Amino acid sequence: MRTLLTSFLVFGLTSLALAQPSKPTADEQKAIDAIVKLGGTAEIDPKLPEKGRVSAKFEAGADAALVALKKYPQIGSVDVFDASKCTDKAFAALKDLPNLRRLVLSKSNLTVARVNAIAQCVGLYELRIPNAGLTDTEMVGLKKLTLLEALDISENPQVTDKGMATVKALERLQALYLSKTGVGDKGLLELKVLDGLRTLYAGSTKITADGAEKFADDMPNLRTVRR
């Protein structure tokens, strides 16, 4: 029986493995300067694809800032550490970033409409929406993100076993973060179809030690389980 692993494993998206030169081009520098003027920080992330290497980070989100980003197709990653003040207008603007591959929206007060707006960002490889008021109902819209390799829905206690019917549709998923959700052993069984899953974080859930260990034994590529 495989030992249940608890050590941290750094997750690298396989499709983003080839690093690009870190020096920004002229257009990338314009994007970086614009992000700074909007109150954020920006840098070149060599792990992102060449067409969208600019990573933008904002401590708090505002509609005006996110809408303004659409002028800069070089942006491949957006992090908003507190998206509680973002309205539907900001979420709708995300689809105008053609090279967006990574999106982090914490405290984002998600609704069905907002999740559906995120789902229009069909090129996403990584989505992190912790502490977002997410429920099983809103989860359904995420099925459209068929390229997802990493999904973080932690700190959403209203996500339950039922929501795993959505997650199991994400066939390319490699890393899943379920900590502080309402998912239990039954929901975990739903995920057995994800044979590419390598990392699972499920601390402070209803998943039992026995359930986690059995799941690890049944998953051929799973390397890290943390609960």
Residues 44, 32: Cα–Cα separation, whole Å = 9
Question: Strand 41-44's sheet: what is its strand order?
Answer: 41-44, 54-58, 75-80, 102-105, 126-128, 150-152, 175-177, 199-201, 224-226
Confidence of residue 175 (pLDDT cuts 50, 70, 90): very high
Q: Are 195 and 171 in contact (CB under 8 A)?
A: no
pTM (two decimals) = 0.89
pLDDT tens-place string over residues 135-162: 999 999 999 999 999 999 999 999 999 9
pLDDT at 21: 53
Percent of the chain exceeding pLDDT 70 equals 91
Domains of the chain: 36-226 (3.80.10.10)
